[in-house]
Amino acid sequence: WYTQYTPYQAEIAQGRLQALLNFQTMVIDLTGMEIANASLLDEGTAAAEAMFMQYSLRKNQKATKYFVSELIFAQSIDILKTRANPFGIELVIGNHEAFTATDEFFGAIVQYPAGNGEVFNYTDFASALHTQNIKLTVIADLLSLTLLTPPGEWGADVVVGTTQRFGVPMGFGGPHAAYFATKDEYKRSIPGRIIGVTIDSNNNYALRMALQTREQHIRRDKATSNICTAQALLAIMAGFYAVYHGPKGLKLIAERTHGLAVTLANAVAEAGYNVLSKSYFDTIQIELGDLTDSIHKECLDNNINLNYNGNVVSIALDETTSLEDVKLLARIFAKVKGIAADSVTVATNATTSIATDSQRTSAYLTHPVFNSHHSEHEMLRYIKSLETKDLSLCHSMIALGSCTMKLNATTEMIPVTWPEFGKVHPFAPNDQVLGYYTIFDELDKWLSEITGFAAMSLQPNAGAQGEYAGLMVIRAYHQDRGDHHRNIALIPASAHGTNPASAAMAGMKIVVVKSLENGNIDVEDLKAKALEHAENLSCLMVTYPSTHGVFEESIIDICNIIHENGGQVYMDGANMNAQVGLTSPANIGADVCHLNLHKTFCIPHG
């Protein structure tokens, strides 16, 4: 499952394509939407993709405002801010209950349940938006949708989120597969991949990647997204989680999680605390007054992290939480109040806090695939039956490009399953993750030495995201020098399709440089265009070695031409492993580059 390449050749990837179709079906059913893609990189990216899709599709070209609920997660707001800036999109962050829809807005985004855990009924909010032709994106917790009315039933136009809690460890923040679901009418604008059903030459059931006309290798700078892949391995894991548990199993997990949250809220309230949450799924907020420090200390002494915001604490429970955990928290809260632990009742017959009009009544996961494989041997046989339909490095080499010939060694893959790595929360306090930071610092130093650069960011989680981050750094460099007008990106005709798509997302204008018949850059054409656009030149995007697998001998001259005309050189380092020890991006004159971890190194393919 983790050595195969991206399924460009559908006929040798039928097993994975079926697993991804299962994922899409799971997402469609749980969200109540009509179509879903084969996953995205993470929740924040998915939210930003939804915003930009709605911006691209807006009928009213004067509408440039986007409403953002103040109760969506902070990391998602950060990504929205970054992505909105190059397009001049104005984010209006506030309370959705006080928001007045006007024709200045093209879209809005809310979280369900909200970031503070509250389950709002957004039906009237969605209706008010639609009267002004404003599209609504909802960031939804998939597990909660087994109990809550799905967004598709109350007016959502796009639903996004993460599938982390479907069997994937937190892993200090990732990787996790995000999902993206929407209405059928938007299918030609969806970012990422879509797996579709077709028939083969013998009229038998078959799968393929559908609607590729939307993608970057065809649309290039006209693409609505630069994402050309999926978080495939993680999406497959999440899809198998739903196959194994089925609709009944998932609902039991959700009810148990919700029941523990209600049990905890009742116990804490009985101990005299003010529980702020009214209607919630798995997260409660409690007012601590002047007891915050005492609660914090007692929790740390018991190896418990909570989310503190002033004198309010929020506690999120999940499918790994036990009744013993809830009892321990109840004892801690009682102790701080000076109440005997045994006098606080931890009842196990909790009734739901979810309002009746927010409770789900529709069926989901009705397809036989989600209702057949509920014992370990049945599940194993199903996974194996799909695995046998795929070609991987277990069988042979894969004759497709320079970036495929990697075996993901077992010695690499085993440590990611260790709880010391896997069970760490992304917002764990710094002094609890010194091991992770040691790894980050070492990797930063090693990658900086290999590339010849001053520092590396480990933040982008795909090649396309690396391109975007690099171009945004170049954009910021020019702006810092007062050169706000520098927005021309020179891109060779032979470049990977994500290059022009990423440049467009960074607010740049693309000028195509001719390529010779052998795939090399036409240096004379580059020189002419660099001179023509010298006043506004931002950068050149160059792949080295090129997508044809060639080390272009004129690369240093190419970089010099760009620098002489005030631009920066962005190097696509996807095939960095071909040059390690021989040369480096800094050595040839590049200013910024990204490295693909599944090409330069040996992590699973997307």
Q: What is the number of other CB atoms lying within 10 angstroms of the CB of residue 110?
A: 25
Q: Is 481 exposed, middle or buried (0-12, 13-18, 19+ CB in 10 A)?
A: exposed
How far from chain centre, in Å, is Cα 444?
Answer: 23
8 A C-beta contact, residue 147 and residue 280: no
Q: What are phi and psi of 115, to 5 degrees?
A: -60, -25
Give the type of residue at 272. G
3-state secondary structure 333-396: HHHHCCCCHHHCCCCCCCCCCCCHHHECCCCCCCCHHHCCCCCHHHHHHHHHHHHCCECCCCCC
- What gap in Å lies between CA 124 and CA 243, rounded to an integer? 34
Q: What is the number of other CB atoms lying within 10 angstroms of the CB of residue 524?
A: 9
Q: CA nearest 492: which of 532, 530, 534, 535?
A: 530
Q: What is the number of other CB atoms lying within 10 angstroms of the CB of residue 390?
A: 20
Per-residue burial over 568-582, b = 16 or more CB atoms within 10 Å of its CB, e = otherwise: bbbbbbbbbbbbeee
DSSP letter (8 states) at residue 409: -
Give the type of residue at 299. C
- What gap in Å lies between CA 415 and CA 421, rounded to an integer? 8
Q: What's the Cα-to-Cα distance from 382 to each of 387, 389, 522, rounded to whole Å?
A: 9, 12, 52
DSSP letter (8 states) at residue 98: G
Tens digits of residue pLDDT in 140-187: 999 999 999 999 999 999 999 999 999 999 999 988 999 999 999 999
CA dihedral 13, 19, 20, 25 (to 10 degrees): 140
The SS3 assignment for 583 reads: coil
- What gap in Å lies between CA 203 and CA 205, rounded to an integer? 7
- What gap in Å lies between CA 379 and CA 230, rounded to an integer? 24
**Tokens standing for residue 264:** 């905890």
Give the type of residue at 501. A
Handedness of CA 362, 97, 79, 278 (dihedral sign): negative
pLDDT for res 417: 84
**In sequence order, which residues have a C-beta less than 8 Å from that of residue 131 and are 6 or more positions away?**
101
pLDDT for res 514: 94
Residue for token pair 């005492």? 294
pLDDT for res 224: 67
| Domain annotation for the chain: domains and CATH numbers | 10-242 (3.40.640.10), 245-358 (3.90.1150.10), 430-594 (3.40.640.10)
pLDDT for res 606: 60
- What gap in Å lies between CA 147 and CA 128, rounded to an integer? 25
- What gap in Å lies between CA 86 and CA 55, rounded to an integer? 13
Strands 135-140 and 105-112: parallel
- What gap in Å lies between CA 403 and CA 43, rounded to an integer? 27
| Residue 264 host element (H or E) | helix 232-270
Q: CA nearest 230: which of 176, 187, 166?
A: 176
**Tokens standing for residue 236:** 């497959």
**In sequence order, which residues have a C-beta less than 8 Å from that of residue 122 and are 6 or more positions away?**
96, 110, 112, 136, 138, 151, 154, 155
Angle, nearest 10°, between helix axes 323-336 and 232-270?
A: 40
**In sequence order, which residues have a C-beta less than 8 Å from that of residue 382 and are 6 or more positions away?**
243, 372, 373
pLDDT for res 78: 97
pLDDT for res 479: 97
Q: CA nearest 35: which of 211, 175, 213?
A: 211
How are the residues of the chain apportioned to helix, strand and coil, as percentages rounded to the nearest 5? 45, 15, 40
- What gap in Å lies between CA 120 and CA 140, rounded to an integer? 12
**In sequence order, which residues have a C-beta less than 8 Å from that of residue 410 and are 6 or more positions away?**
none
pLDDT for res 298: 97
β-bridge mates for residue 521, sequence order: 515
Residue ranges of the chain with per-residue pLDDT less than 70: 5, 213-217, 219-221, 224, 399-407, 605-606
Residue for token pair 């996004």? 160
First-residue to last-residue Cα distance in the chain: 11
Tens digits of residue pLDDT in 47-67: 999 999 999 999 999 999 999
Q: What are phi and psi of 160, to 5 degrees?
A: -130, 170
